Amino acid sequence: MAKFQKKRGKSNPTISTASLPDIIFMLLFFFMVVTVMRTSTKMVSVVTPSVTELTKLEKKSLVNYIYIGVPKPEFRDIAGTKPRVQLGDKFADMNDIPLFLEAHRQKVDERQRGLITSSLRVDKDATMGIVSDVKVALRKAGQFKVNYSAKKRAE
């Protein structure tokens, strides 16, 4: 039939790459949005435990982080090998916690201060002694909302 002529040979079949940048940009924007630039360097090694009952933390600006774990090898000379507390980007002890919480509270809008959550990122091999001390310090400072950071465990 006349309508079904062979088209082979008439045009050279190249895929247009004009839309390639657009696709790449789309990926780029995705990663730009999900990226969180780390504000402080971690000086303690933390591997969080895995649990099943997880709650998601909603607003990043209303969360402050307290790390507890064994200092990384490069800091062992000054910090020892026992689990330590890290606030912001320095090692701290229990007396520094109220000031750290207050500094974060100042940055938050007054109406939302009751919603501030402390995220405790504790290494799974740390003992409860140091964690209990931090808990007492948080209670003394009036910070009652606490989130024990953990990973999802497959059931």
Query: Where on the chain is the footprint of other proteins (CB under 8 A)?
Result: 17-18, 20-21, 24-25, 27-28, 31-32, 34-38, 48-49, 51-57, 60, 63, 82, 117, 119-120, 122-132, 135-136, 138-140, 142-152
Is the Cβ of residue 108 or residue 131 nearer to other proteins in the bound state?
131
Provide the minimum distance between the beta carbon of 20 and other proteins in the complex, in angstroms, as a whole number: 5
Least separation, in Å, of the C-beta of 37 and other proteins? 7
CB-neighbour burial class of residue 67 (10 A; exposed 0-12, middle 13-18, buried 19+): buried
Output 4 or 37, the one with its CB closest to other proteins. 37
Nearest to 138 by CA among 125, 123, 119, 112: 119
| Nearest CB to other proteins, comparing residues 23 and 103 | 23
d(CA 30, CA 53): 28
Burial class (CB in 10 A: 0-12, 13-18, 19+), 3: exposed
